[in-house]
Structure 1
């Protein structure tokens, strides 16, 4: 359960992978959220569980950026929490559930009433719960000034014996222990490396033509949202430094929920640098089809299949799904050595072009070699695929989930 299971955000994608692994071993998953694209026959949608519900947004505007709250804010939080707690009782009874898996709703306070509701529900019932934490509130500046510190300590996350906590990187694991005295199991994000992606079909091969990229152009794919922490200005600088008119930079996702100022800065920088920058978010989606203008919509997998090089110069990431995707689709990539990469991924021996916050001539030279030397490139991407298979595969997730479920059931049934 969580606030949203829809689209291509990290929580929605990882929760689907967990459900797939559980399904492979005859465990049926049911979904509780405020917004959902999952099968409605096994889902319960409660609008107030969604963080963008007007009532939840009303609370968030008054909960953060200030140190005190008015009595009506407190009352509304607890009134909605009681209502949501009732829906949790209904959800668990309707589907005769044995185990609750909470996806990010007990660590980042996008929906405070839901976190309070979950905490009270688990405390009252002793319901066996795995809390999968993708982002903690102390990792985000926007939650640093708060009028709900008491509730953050109570519910994000709660220190309850019925909960097994799961973190996605070692820094989060250490922070949770230091800040809350709570232990957790480290479960990295994964991809199905045991089953390689299929060869690109005729539909995927139309991607370049549809976005105006020639067959002999060199497609640099930035497979992220357009937000400042993605460091996309470094990708522009890289393409500019290559001084090759065939190089085109393509961004697959939209600006997201942080405004369009950064996107305008990127457009201006690209124009000044002579870089051909394409934003194709209206032609990349969850599934193939047609957009409002009648143009073909491609999946992110289609975009990866047609890319020559992946840029991933993020300043901060909770884990780094795009990095795993580059490994999975056997594409070379540039990585800015963000802290989680340095701690949890780099030690595994992955072969990438890395930078430390700024672009150097050496980095540019390495990228040029990858573009021109096919044998070198193929050796690199094949090696990275094996790194993914060993450390970030469904097999790894299966072993971790087996231990978590067995802790509750006493039986190895995964």
Structure 2
């Protein structure tokens, strides 16, 4: 008999790594006979299996006030302490309602016990798990010590308590070997490494009509050549390098498409990128609409575009990130059999590069040699096909649903003593 599994985070909505990996985990767990339920500040899942608590969203006004008061200063006011505790008590009550309403037997906490984007939620979760001895998988994507904004703060006691907590009923999961070592060193907490995955047993099946509609929406000719940067517009994504690459290929007619909205997170960076594109003579397009998670279960906005509808139109994927916890866009490019430019960010060098993928490697800057190799690949169908097929086979071996299924079965056996 399957377990009722509750997924908890600040939101399950956008096409970000946390939401998308949660969708994949839920898909695999459902295939194994378990029922999955959702709790968060905004949830685009089946409403009959979801509990939406607006106060849990990291953008809730009260939480934004707490964030502003907690970070960037070293002295904490009594008012901040009290408001954190009041908020924690409210969320604790809502979490208990969720556990009882859906008879939850196992929690999967997505990043809410790793990054202190919502301190009261982390505290509430820690208390509920401790009091109920609740079996919990804490899936960590990014820790506070990896974020410069958290280096100066007045809430170190709260961070030590809940980000992450060391409790006997929590099994910690990280997405890289570096995170595994950091967690052990900084918190004395052991963890399992489970990489991000995709369903490489079932290749994507693009919808031609959706493709034509997307090109019309973007004002693109049917034969327009596209370089796609499939990330949010934030500085650590290194998108200026994608602009430089597009500039080096403009004589071949390539345009640059960035999948997420300009200025949604960092307006100044988005404006600077637009200026860089003008200077390089690059035709730059921000998608300018909602990009939805491929595992979304509710009706998306009318102008929404699924991330899976964008990839088939790329001739080249750029992924020049300066830092990534793992790198979903790396797997997605391989899944859609696209040549990929990737910067050698630390976790790529350590966990992915040794596996032997055939990629267009950038080592911190766009070199003439890299541009020449990109041109060779784009202009040689035989070379391109050999590259993407090799990468697909390798990813199937290391990053498929089968890998995730075995890992989750092991974790559940640790809790319940039976195979799943």
Fold equivalence (TM over 0.5) = yes
Partner of 1:153: 160
Partner secondary structure for residue 146 of structure 1: coil
Deviations 1:337-377 (A, max 9, x none): 11111111111111110011011111001100111100100
Q: What's the CA shift for 1:83?
A: 2.1
Alignment of 1:14-413 (within 5 A): 14-255=21-262, 257-282=264-289, 284-286=291-293, 297-413=304-420
Cα distance in 2, alignment partners of residues 291 and 101 from structure 1: 28
Cα distance in 1, alignment partners of residues 282 and 206 from structure 2: 30
Contact 1:225 1:256 in 2 (8 A): no
After alignment, is 254-263 or 7-16 more displaced?
254-263
Contact 1:291 1:297 in 2 (8 A): yes
Deviations 1:300-329 (A, max 9, x none): 212111111101111111111111000000
After alignment, is 363-372 or 119-128 more displaced?
119-128
Partner of 2:3: none
Cα distance in 2, alignment partners of residues 220 and 273 from structure 1: 15
C-alpha spacing 1:200/1:236, structure 2 compared with 1 (3 Å)? same
C-alpha spacing 1:240/1:2, structure 2 compared with 1 (3 Å)? same
Partner secondary structure for residue 48 of structure 2: helix
Partner secondary structure for residue 243 of structure 2: helix
Deviations 1:147-178 (A, max 9, x none): 10010001100111111000011111111010
Cα distance in 2, alignment partners of residues 13 and 365 from structure 1: 34
Contact 2:116 2:122 in 1 (8 A): yes
Contact 1:239 1:248 in 2 (8 A): yes
Cα distance in 2, alignment partners of residues 309 and 121 from structure 1: 47
Cα distance in 2, alignment partners of residues 380 and 355 from structure 1: 16
Q: What's the CA shift for 1:215?
A: 3.4
Cα distance in 2, alignment partners of residues 285 and 95 from structure 1: 26
Question: Does residue 13 of the first structure (1) align with residue 25 of the second (2)?
Answer: no
Cα distance in 2, alignment partners of residues 301 and 2 from structure 1: 23
Contact 2:289 2:305 in 1 (8 A): no
Q: Normalising by the residue count of structure 2, what TM-score does the alignment of the two structures yield?
A: 0.94
What's the RMSD between the two structures over aligned residues? 1.7
Tell me, which stretches of 5 or more residues in structure 2 are unaligned? 1-7
Contact 2:250 2:281 in 1 (8 A): no
Cα distance in 2, alignment partners of residues 26 and 380 from structure 1: 37
Tell me, which stretches of 5 or more residues in structure 1 are unaligned? none
Contact 2:13 2:44 in 1 (8 A): yes
Aligned residues: 410
Q: What's the CA shift for 1:255?
A: 3.6
Cα distance in 1, alignment partners of residues 186 and 291 from structure 2: 40
